[in-house]
Amino acid sequence: MRYLVSYLATGLVMLAIDAVWLGLMTSRLYRPRLGDMLAETPNLAPAVLFYLIYVGGIVVFAVQPALASGRWTTALLFGALLGLVAYSTYDLTNQATLRQWSTLVTAADMIWGTVLTGVSATAGMLITQALMGRQAP
């Protein structure tokens, strides 16, 4: 039950924050620099699959260790590190293989992934603690 609560809490936080980012930054950052490489509307199936898998990774690698330690800083640090690794993998691979990939997009995305994942992991951990108490997982 604790995994389910932490998964739902982390996922809802991440989706809400990322929706605001994407809503604000698609027209300001991504579309001007990536242009025709972007679809007019996102393909929802792979997007949903990404969120389902990624939230699971956040829970396993950041939220659960933080719950075990009882320290929110563990969620923040492990979440931020996971975000940096994951978003760097995506953006640096694109930078290495696509002709018109923007260095600014790479930098902004890596920073965003680090912040988003750290904040989502921390909030997911704190919400889980608030709902389920501080008992060991």
Give the model confidence (pLDDT) of 5-18 as tens digits.
Answer: 999 999 999 999 99
| Segments making up each domain of the chain, as ranges | 1-36+44-132
Give the model confidence (pLDDT) of 58-114 as tens digits.
Answer: 999 999 999 999 999 999 999 999 999 999 999 999 999 999 899 999 999 999 999
Q: Alpha helices of 26-133 — where are they, by DSSP H?
A: 31-34, 44-58, 64-69, 72-97, 103-132
The DSSP H or E segment spanning 9 is helix 2-25
Distance CA 132, CA 106 (A): 38
How many residues comprise the chain? 137
